[in-house]
């Protein structure tokens, strides 16, 4: 049966129009939580992040700050990378971390510094 599935998958990928590659949400969780991946793609990324009330730069800074405050290192790395693509400078990220140390806790800030270092060095 495995050969049959492989042959069917090959037949599907070699005929017809090219399919859109899966989104990052689909890659990360689509196999386990397809509805959550769909909501991420359609509502969070397709609606909320596209709303005109805030620039993407501002949304990125707010998101990074929230992830630092909540100590969410798994999501912080990718959002720091996105923030840099959305125009947030390394200096601004470091100032955000420093400011939040006093409001969100020293350990959260120290963890964020380590992630920032990795993001900055992976240019």
Same domain, 44 and 92: no
pTM, two decimals, is: 0.79
Does 123 score more than 90 pLDDT?
no
Same domain, 80 and 119: yes
CATH number at residue 84: 1.20.1290.10
Asked if residues 76 and 118 have their Cβ atoms less than 8 Å apart, the reply is no
Query: Which tens digit of pLDDT belongs to each residue from 70-117?
Result: 999 999 999 999 999 999 999 999 999 999 999 999 999 999 999 999
Interaxial angle between packed helices 106-121 and 90-104, expressed in degrees from 0 to 180 and rounded to the nearest 10: 160
Tokens of 112: 């964020």
Structural domain includes residue 30:
yes
Round to whole Å and give the CA distance between 53 and 23: 25
Does 6 score more than 70 pLDDT?
no
Domain that holds residue 37: 23-52
More confident residue, 67 or 12: 67
Residue 20's pLDDT is 87
Q: How much is the mean pLDDT over the chain?
A: 88
Same domain, 35 and 83: no
């Amino acid at each position: 049966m495995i050969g049959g599935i492989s042959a069917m998958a090959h037949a599907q990928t070699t005929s017809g129009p090219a399919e859109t590659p899966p989104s990052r949400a689909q890659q990360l969780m689509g196999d386990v939580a397809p509805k959550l991946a769909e909501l991420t793609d359609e509502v969070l990324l397709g609606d909320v992040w596209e709303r005109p009330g805030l620039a993407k730069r501002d949304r990125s800074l707010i998101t990074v700050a929230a992830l630092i405050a909540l100590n969410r290192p798994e999501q912080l790395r990718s959002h720091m990378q996105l923030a840099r693509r959305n125009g947030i400078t390394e200096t601004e990220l470091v100032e955000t971390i420093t400011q939040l140390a006093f409001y969100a806790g020293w350990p959260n800030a120290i963890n964020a510094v380590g992630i920032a270092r990795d993001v900055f060095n992976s240019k």
